[in-house]
Amino acid sequence: MREILIIGAGPAGLAAARAARARGASVTLLDAADDVGGQYWRHLPASLSAGREDLLHHGWATFTALRSDLDDDPGCRIVRGAQVWAIERGETTGRPDAARPDAARPDAGNRDTGRPDAEPAEHDDRGGHVVHALAGPVDGTDRERITLTPDALVLATGAHDRTLPFPGWDLPGVFTPGAAQALAKGERVTVGERVAVAGAGPFLLPVAASLVQTGTTVVGVFEASRARTLAAGWLSRPWRLARAGKKGAELAGYAAGQLRHRIPYRTGTAVIRAHGTDAVTAVTVAKLDRDWRPIPGTERRIPVDAVCAGHGFTPRLELAVAAGCVLTGDSFVAVDDAQRTSEPGVYAAGEITGIGGVELAMAEGSIAGHHAAGGDTGTSPVRAARVARGVHRDIARRIEAAHGIRPGWSSWLDDDTVICRCEEVRHGPLRDTAAATASTSLRSLKLSTRAGLGICQGRMCGRTVDALLRQHAPHAHRNDNATFDHRPLAFPLRLAELADHPKDNDRKESA
């Protein structure tokens, strides 16, 4: 039976699992969180259940049905709390070479798919990728080692918030919108009593709604894009939007909620500074021009307990890059009509192929799972998913047109504004070091400024540093192909877990 490994159990991964099972493949579904659902259906753990949890979610019934179908399906193994930390490319991909001493070595205690090491590829498109994961408590030790060599791999790793820096954004009390969502939906904790929600994109609306449901006062939703840009993005060819039934209704629902709770929704406005010493106590908001430059004289100071700031999303690409997948010019995983990546046997679905929301993710997941399991194009469920994918890609384009980041944001930075949070690389030194070395290599710039070299590995600042370096040296084209998305170790793991025989070292130490 064809073995399909799906990484990521959000909407795209769940849909992929269902589609691959429908085609009769054996499915393993890994997620780093300890339950499925991803960030979109982030929910209470079993120990914190609630009678009306559905009030916090859209499509909750869809999710719970999907989850219980897969949980009850003996052909689908769901491994929760499994952190994939590396993907090795196999022999059938990349450059030719001789030795592959390590791949899929039979390893006692592994939960292998049972595929022996030296077996030749039996499917035309099998890429020979080896996936390494650890299952157990997050950042624990002695976790269970999982090594898998599937026939096909579906990457559905999703995205995380992208927050543009502003002075004070590193103060405690400034969160990403995703953090507010996770705390509200995952454990019923609110980030403060008076909260500013700021940034860009339709996702700010459900965040404000979640906060209201936790009893918080949202002092305002500050959307950087101006009303005219929003209208042009959302309302060009509105008859197309009508086809996106559920999405349209969801957004309309948020809008109604905003009115009901009297949340001010300010377009063309940004939080350009957070004030406070040990924690945020106030923000400065300002009106923006069409390029997101603050308009002098429009600044207004608002007392707050917390800020949720997000300016869109960054796809989580490290596993796709490790697998060898080619990226698009705007740094998403390039896929074809069947959601196939450039790598044999590797499929991608959801936000890593383009930010588009839950319906698009599920459509792509269905298509990816179907084809990964050997399905062909003509099958009717795939035809429906393809139609849905077309509609929701159109919406995604509108979102980008309406809310996409404009270059003027960098004018709200001070020289002292932290850009890279981990290494505390500030805007002035970043710019000056880049100028002093005159480097045309992103790799060199990272190593000489330390931007992006900290423990988050550039997840938070990578896109920002890249953009700033390009702004500060517009004439210097890049002469290397370095990116911030290359993380061969996808997540930190302890040396004992990495080492061949961690227990031996322990014994040696105590002997």
Partner 1 sequence: MTVPPFPVPPSQDPIRPDPGTSIRISVDETEYPGRAGQTIAGVMLAAGLLSWRYSSGSGAPRGAFCGIGVCFDCLATVNGQRDVRTCQRRAVDGDVVVTQHDPLPRPPRAPAPESAAESASEPAHRSAPEPPHPSGPDSPLREGGSGA
Partner 2 sequence: MDVIVIGAGIIGAAVARELTRSGIAVTVIERGAAASATSASGEGNVLVSDKEPGPELVLAQYSARLWPQVARELADELGGTIPADGLGGGHRAGSGAAFPSIEFDRKGGLVVATTDAGIEPLRDFAATQVAAGVDARPVTLDEARELEPDLTPSATAAVYYPEDAQVQPVIATEALLASARRSGASVLEGTEVTGGLRGADGRLSGVRTTAGDLHADAVVTAAGPWSAELTARLGAPVPVQPRRGVVLVTSRMRPRIFHKVYDADYVDAVGSGDAALQTSSVIESTAAGTVLIGSSRQRIGFDDRLRVAVLREIAAKAANVFPFLADTPAMRCYGGFRPFVPDHLPLIGADPRLPGLWHATGHEGAGIGLSVATAALLRDLMTGTEPAIDALPFSPARPSLAEHLQEVM
User: What is the contact surface with partner 1 in residues (CB under 8 A)?
Assistant: 32-34, 39, 44-53, 55-56, 137-141, 160-161, 170-176, 178-184, 186-194, 213-215, 276, 278-281, 305-306, 316, 421-424, 454-456, 459-460, 492, 494
Q: Which does 500 bind (CB under 5 to 8 A by kind): partner 1, partner 2, none?
A: partner 2
Question: CA distances (Å), 494 to each of 142, 281, 389, 490, in order?
Answer: 9, 38, 40, 13
Question: For residue 339, which of 3, 9, 2, 15 has the smallest C-alpha distance?
Answer: 15
**22 within 8 A of 66, measured Cβ to Cβ:** no
User: Is residue 432 involved in binding partner 2 (CB under 8 A)?
Assistant: yes
CB of 340 to partner 1, least distance (A): 27
Task: Give me the half-sphere count of Cα atoms (radius 13 Å) on the Cβ side of residue 288.
Answer: 32
- Two tokens at 510? 């105590």
Question: For residue 368, which of 114, 7, 1, 91 has the smallest C-alpha distance?
Answer: 7
User: Is residue 248 involved in binding partner 2 (CB under 8 A)?
Assistant: no
CB of 143 to partner 1, least distance (A): 11
CB closer to partner 1, 224 vs 309: 309
CB of 107 to partner 1, least distance (A): 24
Interface segment toward partner 2; rule CB under 8 A; list 51-59, 148-156, 280-288, 437-445: 437-445
Q: Using the rule CB under 8 A, which residue among 51, 74, 101, 297 binds partner 2?
A: 101
Q: Using the rule CB under 8 A, which residue among 448, 470, 472, 483 binds partner 2?
A: 448
**Phi, psi of 296, deg, nearest 5:** -55, 145
Q: Using the rule CB under 8 A, which residue among 28, 176, 457, 464 binds partner 2?
A: 457
CB closer to partner 1, 165 vs 294: 165
CB closer to partner 1, 274 vs 396: 274
User: Is residue 106 involved in binding partner 2 (CB under 8 A)?
Assistant: no
CA-to-CA distance for 464 and 487, rounded, in angstroms? 17
The site for partner 2, by CB under 8 A, has a size of: 67
CA-to-CA distance for 331 and 395, rounded, in angstroms? 19
Using DSSP, state whether 220 is helix, strand or coil.
Answer: strand
CA-to-CA distance for 446 and 350, rounded, in angstroms? 29
Interface segment toward partner 2; rule CB under 8 A; list 40-48, 257-265, 393-401, 491-499: 491-499
User: Is residue 326 involved in binding partner 2 (CB under 8 A)?
Assistant: no
CB closer to partner 2, 130 vs 272: 130
CA-to-CA distance for 332 and 355, rounded, in angstroms? 9
Question: CA distances (Å), 345 to each of 121, 149, 176, 237, in order?
Answer: 11, 11, 35, 38
